[in-house]
Amino acid sequence: MEREAIGIGATIEEAQQAACRQLGMETHEVEFEVLQMPEKKKFGLFGGAPAKVRAYISITPASAAADYLREILEKMGAQGVQINIEEVEGGAVLNLSGDNIGFIIGHRGETLDALQYLTGLVANHVDNSYYRITINTGNYREKREKTLESLARKMAIKAVKTGRNSSLEPMNPYERRIIHTTVQKVNGAISWSEGEDMGRHVVIGPDPKVKQSFRPRREGGRPRNNNFRSRSQSQDGTKGEAAAGAGTQPRPEIKKNAAAYEKIVPGIPAQPKPVQEKKPVKDESPVSPLYGKIEPKKGE
């Protein structure tokens, strides 16, 4: 795509300057084509013609984006910003440099992303084809990428350990792609996008296809203490052989204390003898009568 302008003047130089003013460019930034050489009048009365020059510039998506961005920055109050165009595969990177341009980044890069979106629309309109534009300043994109990679790795490991999903803040497609790529490198974790438009965000969770090693928690959020339960059962003596044996056999220190007490208070045994249970007297008769047999006396 080209932009052109026709300049007319008494000389070639004047025609070139007139054409450049129409384009808003300097003479060293455009190319010229002489359409008509100037002719002098004969005898100062007849004939003669001015010079006619065609000035044109080749417009690429990157240059169109840079021109548009420069105009916006000037209206935002950023004067003297240098824009360096770096051609990359499928697009270009516009690196900004200058004094006091930190406000261009905005909160978490929101202002920079908005400028990048609008500039990309201008670039795509040049050839009516997709042309990726990236705006960077002060290596902000590289720093942001490292921050997102660290966040994604941390949340992925947390999802594998706890078995719970975590939702991140809304991000643009480029930043969501960084999150997805990083999560894929963590075994047992997956990620997907949810939401619409500006609220679209990434969710990181455990992979259901991979066996997880996390322990489920109770409703209170604290893991179950099996040792405490075992101690309780041992005290009750309801479960476990150890609990049953602990109730019948005295501990060594108890025996020692009992022996010492017996020396101080004589006559009192340290340990009372166990009471023997009385065995019931067996009745040899199968059925005991209610009353004994009454024998009549002789002579009655």
Q: Residue-wise pLDDT tens for the chain (300 aa)?
A: 778 899 999 899 999 999 998 888 788 888 899 998 888 877 666 667 889 999 988 888 998 999 899 999 989 888 888 999 998 998 999 999 888 888 888 888 889 999 999 999 999 988 888 899 999 998 899 999 999 999 999 999 999 999 999 999 999 888 999 999 999 999 999 999 999 988 999 999 999 888 766 555 554 555 555 554 444 444 444 444 444 444 455 555 555 555 555 555 555 555 555 656 655 555 544 555 544 555 555 554
Of 112, 138, 164, the one marking the end of a domain is 138
Residue 290 lies in a domain: no
Domain ranges, residue 40: 2-58
Number of domains the chain is built from: 3
Sheet with 82-88, side-by-side order of all strands: 82-88, 91-97, 132-137
Given this model, what pLDDT does residue 81 score? 87
Residue 226 lies in a domain: no
Q: What is the CATH number of the domain that holds 190?
A: 3.30.1370.50
Residue 212 lies in a domain: no
Given this model, what pLDDT does residue 210 score? 82
Give the whole-angstrom CA distance, residue 20 versus residue 91.
28
Q: Please indicate, yes or no, whether residues 155 and 127 belong to a single structural domain of this protein.
A: no
Residue 14 lies in a domain: yes
- The one-letter code for the residue type at 80 is G
Q: Are strands 2-9 and 82-88 parallel, antiparallel or unpaired?
A: unpaired
Give the whole-angstrom CA distance, residue 268 versus residue 54.
131
DSSP H or E segment with residue 114: helix 110-127
Given this model, what pLDDT does residue 77 score? 86
Q: How many residues does the chain have?
A: 300
Q: Please indicate, yes or no, whether residues 133 and 172 belong to a single structural domain of this protein.
A: no
Residue 48 lies in a domain: yes
Q: What is the CATH number of the domain that holds 72?
A: 3.30.300.20
User: ∠ at Cα 195 (191, 199), nearest 5°?
Assistant: 110
The residue assigned the tokens 């824009």 is 83
Given this model, what pLDDT does residue 45 score? 64
- Cβ atoms of 57 and 23 closer than 8 Å: yes
Given this model, what pLDDT does residue 241 score? 45
Residue 130 lies in a domain: yes
Of 58, 80, 103, the one marking the end of a domain is 58
Q: Please indicate, yes or no, whether residues 70 and 133 belong to a single structural domain of this protein.
A: yes
Given this model, what pLDDT does residue 160 score? 94
Residue 78 lies in a domain: yes
Alpha-helical runs (H) found in 184-251 = 226-236, 241-248
Of 206, 234, 256, the one marking the end of a domain is 206
- The one-letter code for the residue type at 67 is D
Given this model, what pLDDT does residue 256 score? 54
Give the whole-angstrom CA distance, residue 39 versus residue 47.
8
Given this model, what pLDDT does residue 274 score? 60
Instruction: Give, in order, the Cα–Cα distances in Å from 136 to each of 141, 189, 294.
Output: 6, 31, 126
Given this model, what pLDDT does residue 296 score? 55
Q: Please indicate, yes or no, whether residues 181 and 117 belong to a single structural domain of this protein.
A: no
Torsions phi, psi of 43, nearest 5?
55, 15
